[in-house]
Structure 1
Amino acid sequence: MSLPALDTVTGCLLVGTWASSLLYIYEIIQGSYYFRHFEQDNWKFKTLVMIALFVDTLSILGDCICVYLYTITHAGDLEYLNNIHWPVPLYGFTTGVLAVLVQVFLVVRYWRFTQNTLITLILSFAIIISFCSVFTCSLMLTLYPSIDDRSKFKIPAPLWLVTEVAVDAGIASVLLWEFRKARGILTETRRCFIFRLGSGTTSALDQLTAATIQSGAAAATLAGAALISYYIKPKSNVYVGFLYPLGRVYVITLLSNLNIRKSGKSFSTTDTSSGSEHGQLTFPHWAADGSCGIHVHRTVHTSVHVISVKSSRDRLPATFQSPLQSAAIDRSPEEMEIIANYSSKKQSTLSAA
């Protein structure tokens, strides 16, 4: 009996480990950055990162061992090539664990931000289905290792891949929707107030949006490609090759969302007002707190001053001034600053007189 086409048996696994190795290097860089820059972070997040890194390291080691056994130790062994061996079920278990860790992290983050219980429950239910499906597939691979038994996986394997695509795309979509609404708040605030926001506010929002699109699209694309290849050629390992980098993508998603907090600090601006009291304007800001929740706040505080004139030579009618009322809408920030400084000096002169 001749050997099967090795491109779809061992070649796809080899290419999958190459892609996984490159992503794993980037994952280690991100993990090192996290532990260097967030030493005082909550112990829960540190534990989550350490567990994710450990599980993913175990997963990629299993992937490399699998390729070595197929291509070196049992090269040319037809019976060995026609069966699934322990590294593949190990990959399924570890990838399922990583998916649950990262997806739950993102769903909890979404719930803390929006308090939308319905969407959170739907996503949580899909995560449970996805994990149960991949667990079932891994268990069945240990019981039915032959490639000829792939027909038994018609329900759990597609169910896992479909729910994986749905969850990854769903989480990315709801987060992007909330980011879009937050950007609308920032735009509205700029129209209402003439003071300019700090550049860090929109920069953090742009980075969050980019990270969400990249991570969600990458995971959903890999799962979708695996689903298509499974239906095209079920008695091959092509879909496994597509899924090999999936665990690395999940861990990179987790680390990217944690490391981006460096650019998520809050910004506030205080305007210049006359006298000893100050009017304060706090703009909407994105702040990643200890629970990785993102909050948008908009508050405006104004103060009113009564100017009493003591000198008869420079007698002026008593006026009420407010920091927000003293500037015209069509004036630039530089003009407003000059006007505020002039008003302050004028009041000092009147008081001295």
Structure 2
Amino acid sequence: MDPRQLARSSVPRSLPEARHLRQDDRFLLVTSIMPKNPAAVAHGPMLIGVTINVLLMGVIVMQAYEYFTSYKRRDDRYLKSLVVFVFCANILNTGFAVADVYLALINHFGDVQYLTVSTWLFVTDPVIVGTVACSVQMFFAWRVQVLTGRWYLGLLTASLALGQLICAMLMAWKCHQYPAWADFVKFTDLIIAWMTTTILVDVTITIILVWYLRRHKTGLEGTDQVVDRLIRLTVQTGMLTSVWALLDLVLFLTQPTDASHLIFQIPMVKMYTNSLMSSLNSRPKPKVFSEVTDNIHSIAKFVNHRTTMQDGTMQFASSLHPEAAAHLERHELGEFQKKTIEAASSGCKGDAKTGWDNAARAI
């Protein structure tokens, strides 16, 4: 509806003298008694969120470029497929968000009725956010299971990730059923469930990984530095997504008259993508592989003091976990322990350095 038509039909009955005002004066009167500019209710925060989204998209592009130039030949096709999927989802998310704001603020400039409802472009946001978040959380759930060797911890985090995805899909369906921004208060409980589950997954993954890594420090400076770096990265990436989702939820609950939470909702998919790409790109690059070998040599010196020989077979002490932590960054965990033991054992009758050189080549 045209704003001036809205003005003719919206003049309050308590102001009969306003009926005699000119059309332009009536329009000014209606806009002055409106609680808030319709564009400012949702599309103002959305514009800020889209701006952050676009800026972070540039960061994601650089991270993806670094990944494919450094790890394309090292990682298996499943991990590369995950990166491609997440990257394409981010492109769609940014494109839909920009198109949504452009249509509202440019093509439908001054169209009050259009500004009061969401569109199908907005409905795609919870779908993409939930899907990407679930994919990244599943990746970290796999890390938890492989690193700790405890399947129930991986199952717990994976189940929570699926719960978050279900809430996101239900949220998208509700947005489709009730497109008016004012109707979003009807499914407040669903939004709380979605954001709470999202935060719970991220915090659970962070706590488990930090707990496990801290338990398996060796006391050696070189290996402990690797473990400390893993802990810092885990906390930074895990807590970033948790705090971001918490801010989204807090704004939604404390600002019911507008959509300020969209400032954090629109770029949320970028937070999870950054978490994944930062984790993958933090691994040692092929050009610094010699430094990794030196660290393995330092581990060998530690292991040599905690081994026993039985029939020419090396029996490793139970504190050899930092190797697995270091190798976890290379995402070849399945055969790591077997290859390391075999390679190191092949040199046990000579010197430890030779055996661990073989282990380094097996990684």
- TM above 0.5, yes or no, is yes
- C-alpha distance in 1, partners of 2:334/2:144? 8
Given the superposition, is the C-alpha separation of residues 293 and 161 from structure 1 closer, same or farther in structure 2, using an over 3 Å criterion? farther
CA RMSD of aligned residues (A): 3.2
Q: TM-score, normalised by structure 2?
A: 0.71
Aligned pairs, number:
289
The residue type paired with residue 147 of structure 2 is: F
- Please, which of 246, 254, 257 is the counterpart of residue 224 of structure 1? 246
Residue of structure 1 equivalent to 2:186: 152
Given the superposition, is the C-alpha separation of residues 73 and 120 from structure 1 closer, same or farther in structure 2, using an over 3 Å criterion? same
- 1:20 Cα deviation from its structure 2 partner: 1.5
Identify the structure with the greater helix proportion.
Answer: 2
- Please, which of 44, 47, 52 is the counterpart of residue 81 of structure 2? 47
Output aligned runs, 1:1-353, within 5 Å.
Answer: 1-2=30-31, 4-5=36-37, 6-40=39-73, 41-183=75-217, 186-187=218-219, 190=220, 199=222, 201-262=223-284, 265=292, 267-269=296-298, 284-285=322-323, 286-288=326-328, 289-291=330-332
The residue type paired with residue 258 of structure 2 is: S
CA contact (8 A) 1:92 1:138 kept: yes
The residue type paired with residue 268 of structure 1 is: H
- 1:76 Cα deviation from its structure 2 partner: 2.2
| Greater alpha carbon shift after TM alignment, 12-21 vs 48-57 | 12-21
Given the superposition, is the C-alpha separation of residues 295 and 304 from structure 1 closer, same or farther in structure 2, using an over 3 Å criterion? closer
Given the superposition, is the C-alpha separation of residues 255 and 75 from structure 1 closer, same or farther in structure 2, using an over 3 Å criterion? same
5+ long unaligned stretches in structure 2: 1-29, 302-313, 353-363
Given the superposition, is the C-alpha separation of residues 237 and 207 from structure 1 closer, same or farther in structure 2, using an over 3 Å criterion? same
- C-alpha distance in 1, partners of 2:253/2:349? 71
> What SS does structure 2 have at the residue aligned with 1:132?
helix
Deviations 1:107-166 (A, max 9, x none): 011101112233323222221221111100111111110123223212211110111111
Given the superposition, is the C-alpha separation of residues 292 and 221 from structure 1 closer, same or farther in structure 2, using an over 3 Å criterion? farther
State the percentage of identical aligned residues: 22
CA contact (8 A) 1:66 1:88 kept: yes
Q: TM-score, normalised by structure 1?
A: 0.73
- C-alpha distance in 2, partners of 1:138/1:160? 11
Given the superposition, is the C-alpha separation of residues 293 and 68 from structure 1 closer, same or farther in structure 2, using an over 3 Å criterion? farther
The residue type paired with residue 287 of structure 1 is: H
- C-alpha distance in 2, partners of 1:211/1:303? 35
The residue type paired with residue 279 of structure 2 is: N
> What SS does structure 2 have at the residue aligned with 1:155?
helix
Given the superposition, is the C-alpha separation of residues 206 and 303 from structure 1 closer, same or farther in structure 2, using an over 3 Å criterion? closer
> What SS does structure 2 have at the residue aligned with 1:238?
coil
5+ long unaligned stretches in structure 1: 191-196, 272-278, 306-321, 324-353
